[in-house]
Amino acid sequence: MKVDINIVPPGGGETDYTITVEMPSVPAKGDYLLLRGRQEQEEDDFGLRGHIVRRTWWFLETIDNNTRLADVVLEVEVAEGSLDSRNHKKQLAMYVARGKKPEQLDDSVY
């Protein structure tokens, strides 16, 4: 299923950016969502960008008495982890400078 992932600052707030992903199911509140892979501007940086699921928004629409699922939007907030990419660390530092404290990812999976 197609899921729009809205990435918000620590503690919530206005969406910083959105990505759309095909997912087999929808993660639950509190689940970790880790984006990994090389950034174009950081060819040697394979670090992670960690996020925690805040909530899921289910958008339904009714047309001619038929209701269907229109969109699924996953709201996730930026979080801090031990394998963060350089860009992610810079983003976290920006939030901290604005008084927003990111949650820490539990490193039990590594």
Taking only the tens place, the pLDDT of each residue in 61-106 is 999 999 999 999 999 999 998 888 888 899 999 999 999 999 999 8
Q: List, edge to edge, every strand of the sheet that includes 32-36.
A: 17-22, 2-8, 66-78, 48-63, 32-36
Give kind and range of the element (H or E) at residue 49: strand 48-63
Count the Cβ atoms, other than its own, within 10 Å of residue 49: 22
- Spans of all domains in the chain: 2-109
Mean of per-residue pLDDT scores for the chain: 89
Residue whose tokens read 């689940």 = 31
Say what the pLDDT of residue 71 is: 96
> In this structure, are residues 78 and 105 in contact, taking their beta carbons and an 8 Å threshold?
no
